Amino acid sequence: MNLDDIITPEQDPAGNLSEMAANLRFEDIPPEDVDFVKRDILDIAGCILAGSTEQTAKDALETARSWNASGKSRVFVYGDRMPAEFAAFVNGTMARARDMGDTGNEGGHICEWVVPALLSSLGLSDEKHNGRDFITAFVAGAEWGSREHICVKLTHHNLTTPGECAGPRYATAAVSKLFGFTKEQIWTAQGLAYCARPQSEMQKCNEGTSFVRLQHGYVCADAIKSVSLVRTSSRITAPKAIYMGPGGLLKNIKHGDVLSPDILTEGLGKRWMWREQVTMKPYAGCKYNHCEICGILNLMKEHRFTWWEIDTLHFTVSEGCRHVFEPHDKKWNPSTGEAGMFSAPYSIAYAAIHGDCFLEAYSDAEVQKNMADPAFRALMDGMSYDVDESLPSFDDYTITVTLKDGRTFSRQEKDLPGNVRHPMSWDEAEHKFWNAARFCAVDLGKERYQKIIRLCKNLEQLADMRELADAMTLG
């Protein structure tokens, strides 16, 4: 299939993807991928706990409370019971709030869409959903969304679409699968979700706005509303040609660099593109900051110099990385935690000074304190960058440091922890979880945190996924 093909709605690739999701069985998923899903779910559980203290997440919670509706779905950490779509609005925002969830090299975030939508949907009925079904639903959503993001070339951040346009497909495919939808039901639910939020864009990141976090809450709520409509009535209709119709996604991307639509369907059920792409974040903040952070920390360790010895730093980065360096005035002058998360110069300087870059770096007060420090600013002002379009999105950047004594060191960073070549181990995932749990709005207690880890490690044996949702909430 070519981009300029004229098709009938029934020929749209969304049909093949719906069939993949409907037919997927737990037994089809390679054991090593099952283990990765469990680590990834633990990773996002920690992100959610930490996200509970972020102001946008708290604002989302207060807004949902003001709607004054009771239900069966749990709001993570706080324990409120709300209708599923209201809980999803809050939980999705929490999952994204700290920007610490997984990232696909070409496929965008996965867990931040899929897991809050799935866990929030458990309140739609009294039916029990076991861990095997949950893992299968996770993979269905992950594979659909990853293929879309690969196709539209997520690296073109600053142009019309793609942004994080696949978010609704991640979440809606996963929830549809959890509830045992047929191919046609999944297709309809996806059509509804597509119309509710047809395209995304990156201006939310370029301007460092709260919608970076809120978007996931909106999408998770839309996924649940779409699935609920299809569960309620077979009369509901929605567009099928969400990719190749005249108003479809692939026909309306402006950067002109879309891959063949065949990438959406090639090897479905046999080749798992989500697993080829997914990475976990070792640091807080935007993933586009992480290779530079890792590189400078490794250079400092290898050559035994300190941050105050640095004169200049130069980074050769990927095309997609532009948005954490541009526009220059904003990225070299962040004034809030939100802006700091998407500023490479700020994040790199913080890591060089502190030896790490976790959530402490991104409070409003911390950003403002650092930006008022002449030494911190001087370190940022010594940074420059250029772009190599041949580089992968998040890896293999070159970091070059010149010290005040004239020595120069350079490194192409290939060893970023959590990337495809170096996936996070259980020990590393647990370490990050405990680190994130320090920022939870309520101390749920050591026993509760240990239970979350235990449930994730043995997820395929869990009889009722509400046990995990309950472990992540008060009461």
Do 323 and 159 form a contact (C-beta atoms < 8 A)? Answer: no
Contacts for 19 with CB less than 8 Å, ≥ 6 apart: 183, 268
pLDDT surpassing 60 at residue 162 = no
Give the per-residue pLDDT at 334. 96
Domain of residue 20, CATH code: 1.10.4100.10
Using alpha carbons, select from 198, 274, 273, 177 the residue that is nearest to residue 242.
198
- Looking from the CA of 453 toward its CB, the CA atoms found within 13 Å total 17
Q: What is the pLDDT of residues 401-424, one digit of tens each?
A: 999 999 999 999 998 999 988 999
250 & 326 share domain: no
Residue 142: what residue type? A
365 & 385 share domain: yes
Integer Cα distance of 254 and 161 in angstroms: 7
Q: What is the pLDDT of residues 170-209, one digit of tens each?
A: 999 999 999 999 999 999 999 999 998 756 666 776 676 7
Within-domain flag for 435: no
Integer Cα distance of 71 and 80 in angstroms: 9
Residue written as tokens 């931040």?
112
Task: Answer positive or negative: Cα dihedral of 22, 166, 389, 103.
Answer: negative
Within-domain flag for 456: no
What is the pTM for the complete model shown? Answer: 0.92
137 & 238 share domain: yes
Q: What is the pLDDT of residues 435-457, one digit of tens each?
A: 999 999 999 999 999 999 999 99
pLDDT surpassing 70 at residue 129 = yes
Of 255, 279, 303, which closes a domain?
Answer: 279
pLDDT surpassing 60 at residue 159 = no
Within-domain flag for 187: yes
Residues spanned by the domain of 311: 287-412
3-state secondary structure 360-387: HHHCHHHHHHHHCCHHHHHHHHCEEEEE
197 & 91 share domain: yes
DSSP states along 158-213: TSSS-TTTTHHHHHHHHHHHHTT--HHHHHHHHHHHHHHS----SHHHHTT-THHH
239 & 317 share domain: no
Q: Tell me 260's DSSP state.
A: P
74 & 211 share domain: yes
207 & 308 share domain: no
pLDDT surpassing 60 at residue 156 = no
Residue written as tokens 């472990």?
471
Within-domain flag for 299: yes
55 & 193 share domain: yes
Of 247, 279, 311, which closes a domain?
Answer: 279
pLDDT surpassing 60 at residue 144 = yes
Within-domain flag for 428: no
Q: What is the pLDDT of residues 337-360, one digit of tens each?
A: 989 999 999 999 999 999 999 999
339 & 218 share domain: no
pLDDT surpassing 90 at residue 100 = yes
Within-domain flag for 273: yes
Give the chain's domain count: 2
Integer Cα distance of 302 and 444 in angstroms: 39
256 & 330 share domain: no
264 & 385 share domain: no
- Least confident segment among 47-51, 115-119, 192-196, 211-215: 211-215
Contacts for 125 with CB less than 8 Å, ≥ 6 apart: none
Do 40 and 110 form a contact (C-beta atoms < 8 A)? Answer: yes
Domain of residue 380, CATH code: 3.30.1330.120
Within-domain flag for 270: yes
Within-domain flag for 268: yes
Q: What is the pLDDT of residues 204-234, one digit of tens each?
A: 766 767 787 888 999 999 999 999 999 999 9
199 & 303 share domain: no
Using alpha carbons, select from 67, 47, 72, 75 the residue that is nearest to residue 127.
72
pLDDT surpassing 80 at residue 113 = yes
Of 248, 279, 310, which closes a domain?
Answer: 279
